[in-house]
Structure 1
Amino acid sequence: MTTLPIIVYPTDEQGGRRVRMDGEILGLAYSLRDIAEFLRRAGLEDPDPAWVEASTLIEWRGGGPDVWEH
């Protein structure tokens, strides 16, 4: 499991949220499922949307895991 900072930024005009881990942008997410996939590709073992929603390793900026509209 990672201890690297995972930051999910506020939504942009299209509702996407930039996801960054350890200073690297992983992608633009439109759902918890997108974030889980980015984290899986970055090497986290089996993250899923429920884990993303509940994880204390993620810093949510501009709203929590339920905010997807600008």
Structure 2
Amino acid sequence: MWSTVRDAAAPGYRAVLVADAAATYSDEAHNTTLTVVHRCFGDVGTAAEVLALLHAGGPGSPAGAGAP
């Protein structure tokens, strides 16, 4: 999870981490990762939240770019 987010952030992308589709070895590590990603590298949301943004045409979504 970390390396993907860092690799996306390096060239300037803002990553989106789907919190309920990612896992680590403990709840504490998971929650720490979500916090750090939100503060430093991108956005964090549940699958339902991310799908709602995509369907609504949120920033960066295909619908927001004028796709059908």
Greater share of helix residues, 1 or 2?
Answer: 2
TM-score bin (small chain): under 0.3
- Whichever of the two has the greater Rg, that structure is 2
Normalised to the residue count of structure 1, the TM-score between the two structures is 0.27
**Larger relative contact order, structure 1 or 2 (CA cutoff 8 Å, min sep 6):** 1
